[in-house]
Structure 1
């Protein structure tokens, strides 16, 4: 038992979380099969058409679901650590702030807040430092994508101040 093996008299229990993940993977694969089956399968002169890659991805997801079920029944998944809710809250709050502020405040401010909240979730709680850094970094990203690559990103007051 010291080498990491389980004693023979211990019952193996299925990993219920892994079984839920397998069910979700199977549902996603089923939705993909259904959605792709509605596309016209006319590949024209070639065997490869617009349904080939989605079918391949659905088959892979279904294979992963089956594999996950077997691993869950065998109990081969490692023991998971307890999930801390604080960091998850910070990251979800940052995503919510970005979605709510993207059109109002623009890309730089909204994404800068997402950066700062995500940093807080990873332990950097000095928002007075991470918010300005995130806004400056996001503004540089906005300049590259919006001005140099001519892609459309939402502009807010900061972007209008400079451009």
Structure 2
């Protein structure tokens, strides 16, 4: 075997990560279609009802899953860059922190923590600057949604201090 034959043989291997993504797309399509098929029809004579759009979305996901599986099997996906794990951990930590603090500290502080840790994940190293900025921006969002639009968001000590 020549070097060209060896490189083409290794290049044509299935992309296993893309195959896993294809299986995930097919599973989501199946769940969406199953859920849409259990929606009650309002009128029997009309072909378009509440399940029409979810079924179209399921069909689209199914087609994307098949296409992804086909391309993965052929090995046609471009080479991916090395993944950086640390930013993902910072962002997931921010989401976990928000979920844990939401009822205790309220929307502004919890979402400010999410903002600061996400900013850290994107490369902003000064958390002591990002945290107050995130809390202030989150408080403004809370005030707009809670006070002006009359929507219910979790209030904590900061929100009770002003309202």
Q: TM-score, normalised by structure 1?
A: 0.91
Shift of the alpha carbon at 1:111? 0.2
- In the aligned structure 1, how far is the partner of 2:63 from the partner of 2:41? 23
Give unmatched runs, 5+ long, in structure 1.
Answer: 1-6
1:71 and 2:71 matched: yes
Cα RMSD for the two superposed structures: 1.3
Tell me if structure 2 keeps the 8 A contact 1:43–1:50: no
- In the aligned structure 1, how far is the partner of 2:84 from the partner of 2:5? 34
Shift of the alpha carbon at 1:70? 1.4
- In the aligned structure 2, how far is the partner of 1:144 from the partner of 1:25? 37
Show the counterpart of 1:31: 31
Q: TM-score, normalised by structure 2?
A: 0.91
Show the counterpart of 1:51: 51
- In the aligned structure 1, how far is the partner of 2:38 from the partner of 2:141? 39
SS of the residue aligned with 1:123? coil
- In the aligned structure 1, how far is the partner of 2:80 from the partner of 2:151? 41
Shift of the alpha carbon at 1:74? 2.1
Give unmatched runs, 5+ long, in structure 2.
Answer: none
Would you tell me which structure has more helix in proportion to its own residues? 2
Equivalent residue pairs, number: 157
Show the counterpart of 1:89: 89
